[in-house]
Structure 1
């Protein structure tokens, strides 16, 4: 006698670890992660604005934290997250218009995205330091 339908082993649904990671999939996942990073980065901006609106002592203490090596590292990371998420959004917007949907084009854009975001982040920080005079 055969097993009943209820006791037969059923196939597992496909999940993330079954698929081979391709650049477009990885950039989609990174886009979502950078969205979460932006959420926490807004807290940094809110803390800075709150300190600017309260007192000079509070603003000086927040500026000291943001001006430390760790604070600058966090702000550099936040800048990269902001730029990477923006470029990923532009990529998705272009694809939503029906352009760059071919496999080789979308893969090429996905591969270029991290390099472009790192380059733009570095350019922004270099220009910022040059404008600041530091």
Structure 2
């Protein structure tokens, strides 16, 4: 206590401990995907505003729906919808991966990395498949 008081009165500061993860742990795919899983969860939170807007516009009449269609029909809206679709599918597959881990499977390093890679590749592939099917269902090129 006397040492702490002496250091604060002289203006010298004691070195605070630094979190070891910055110096010790090297980034692994599973670590990065854990961070991405959290980010996609936050993106889905805000993306639900789009779903609410779509439902409200559909219930409000043709003018409100035309405004919604204009907003999501331009290139920026399409990119946002594509990102929302990917976030939804990636978050879902990440949840399935965590369910597998909760069942105490897939903890070996090779299995863990394979599950993470499968959820990443699967989310990209499923997003493209959903958009191609949606594009074809809407009549293809106009």
TM-score by length of 1: 0.89
The CA deviation at 1:10 is 4.5
* Equivalence for 1:100: 106
- What 5-or-longer segments of structure 1 have no aligned partner? none
The 10-residue stretch of structure 1 (37-46 or 104-113) with the greater mean CA deviation from structure 2: 104-113
> Higher relative contact order by CA 8 Å / sep ≥ 6: 1 or 2?
1
Q: Aligned partners of 2:104 and 2:139: how far apart in 1?
A: 44
Structure 2 alignment gaps of length 5 or more: 8-13
Per-residue CA distance 1:57-108 (angstroms, 9 max, x = gap): 0111111111111111110110000000000000000110011111110012
- The Cα offsets for residues 27-74 of structure 1, whole Å up to 9 and x where unpaired, read as 100000000000011000001111111121011111111111111111
Mapped to 2, the partners of 1:45 and 1:11 lie a distance apart of 45
* RMSD of aligned residue pairs (Cα, Å): 1.8
Q: Larger Cα Rg: Structure 1 or Structure 2?
A: 2
Q: Which residue of 2 aligns with 1:71?
A: 77
- Which aligned segments of 4 or more residues in structure 1 are displaced greater than 4 angstroms? 5-8
CA displacement at 1:13 relative to structure 2: 2.8
CA separation in 1, counterparts of 2:16 and 2:58? 59
